[in-house]
Amino acid sequence: MTYGIGIVGAGMIAPFHLEAIRGLPNARAVGIMDHGSGKGRRIASDLDTAGSDDLEIFLSRSDVDIVAIATPSGSHLDIAVAAAKAGKHCIVEKPIEITLPRIDEMIAAHDAAGTRLGGIFNTRYTDGAQLLKRTVEAGRFGTMTFASAVGPWWRDPGYYQSSNWKGTWEVDGGGALMNQGIHSVDLLQWLVGSPVASVSGRISTTAHPYIEVEDTSAATIQFENGVLGTVACTTSMWPGHFRTITLSGTEGTVVLADEGLLFWRFRDETEEDQAIRDALLSLPSDGVGASNPAAGVDARGHQAVFADFLRALESGETPPIDGAEARKAVAIIRAIYESAEAGGAPVSVSSASR
């Protein structure tokens, strides 16, 4: 079967959705809804954008099987629920939504409709991240002891001034953590492979006093399997540099830097370890998306997410990044925000409710 995918939203990320869809043998892009801005036609002049300013009309189209949501973060709920009621599957850009009740409403709507809901975390699909996940699952770290995610990024004033929703609690849902750092948070929890039990965090707005949300964040975290860790994400560190994920245990340590490796050592070395270092060990000169959000994205990761989602539809299985999986990173971030409001007091992630 070839699935027709309609994109809702025509901002910065929409062209990457379009490119990803067009690279799949069993999918085709059938339209872009741009809420009447005209950007959809400029992005893809060859697509039928009829009804692009009316969600009900867009969702009534028989050629739309899946809706790809690429609108501002806090607007995902209404579109996803409407899509479920129209019998359409949904795949949603990160964060899937900005609060847990809103995410739960989306999940419930698709469960009731019998449609699938998926999230997008394209950074899971880099060669380095996939290799590290296999290494964790193989038990090479021994007893894992420490895990860290650092996203030392920068955004200039123009980034926040380019729209009326960036840097707001109501629509952006947060700042350096919810918008930029969510990829780092997701990668960390996915790689460790254990739920986060509790967090203790602080946030501040230091370099961008004109925004409502944080541009600097730091948190300690404890996983249910006993691993301790840290998360630090910013948009306040000029000029910004590569994101790092560190995993350590009694038998080895690895540091992932964007798509490559900074460090790869295990107590019981193999010939494959040296080959991995030869292929992937490097010092990034800058960083993917460190100061320019558009530079941090290409379509390969999105295409892999879409491909997995389509495979799940074909097989009847749950997508690897379904609504519940996409919810995990948001739950951790919301718990960090709650902790920050409480002066850094520990907050259980399972009790985070907002």
184 shares a domain with 97: no
- The answer to whether residue 190 scores a pLDDT higher than 90 is yes
CB atoms within 10 A of CB 198: 18
Q: What is the pLDDT of residues 55-100, one digit of tens each?
A: 999 999 999 999 999 999 999 999 999 999 999 999 999 999 999 9
- Say if 353 falls within a structural domain: no
264 shares a domain with 196: yes
- Say if 64 falls within a structural domain: yes
- The answer to whether residue 284 scores a pLDDT higher than 80 is no
- Identity at 27, one-letter amino acid code: A
- The answer to whether residue 243 scores a pLDDT higher than 90 is yes
Q: Please tell me the predicted confidence (pLDDT) of residue 290.
A: 83
Q: What angle do CA 264, 268, 274 make, to 5 degrees?
A: 45
Q: Please tell me the predicted confidence (pLDDT) of residue 147.
A: 98
185 shares a domain with 97: no
- Say if 187 falls within a structural domain: yes
Show Cβ contacts of residue 150 under 8 Å, excluding neighbours closer than 6 positions: 184, 230, 231, 232, 233, 243, 244, 246
Q: Please tell me the predicted confidence (pLDDT) of residue 285.
A: 66
- Say if 325 falls within a structural domain: no
107 shares a domain with 152: no
245 shares a domain with 341: yes
Q: Please tell me the predicted confidence (pLDDT) of residue 200.
A: 98
Q: For the chain, how many structural domains are there in total?
A: 2
139 shares a domain with 68: no
- Rounded Cα distance, 155 and 290, in Å: 8
What confidence category does residue 343 fall into, taking pLDDT thresholds of 50, 70 and 90? very high
Domain extent, residue 177, equals 123-293+330-348
- Rounded Cα distance, 290 and 153, in Å: 5
The CATH number that applies at residue 288 is 3.30.360.10
Q: What is the mean pLDDT of residues 36-62?
A: 87
343 shares a domain with 208: yes
- Rounded Cα distance, 25 and 200, in Å: 45
Q: Please tell me the predicted confidence (pLDDT) of residue 283.
A: 75
The CATH number that applies at residue 100 is 3.40.50.720
Q: Please tell me the predicted confidence (pLDDT) of residue 36.
A: 85
- Say if 324 falls within a structural domain: no
CA atoms within 13 A on the CB side of 186: 25
Assessment of whether the complete model's pTM goes beyond 0.75: yes
92 shares a domain with 75: yes
Comparison of pLDDT for 331 and 297, the residue scoring more: 331
- The answer to whether residue 295 scores a pLDDT higher than 70 is no
197 shares a domain with 92: no
- Say if 180 falls within a structural domain: yes
- Say if 277 falls within a structural domain: yes
134 shares a domain with 29: no
- Say if 19 falls within a structural domain: yes
128 shares a domain with 39: no
Q: What is the mean pLDDT of residues 151-175?
A: 96
136 shares a domain with 93: no
Q: Please tell me the predicted confidence (pLDDT) of residue 353.
A: 61
Q: What is the mean pLDDT of residues 226-241?
A: 97
Highest mean pLDDT among 36-40, 102-106, 282-286: 102-106
| CA 92 from centre of chain | 10
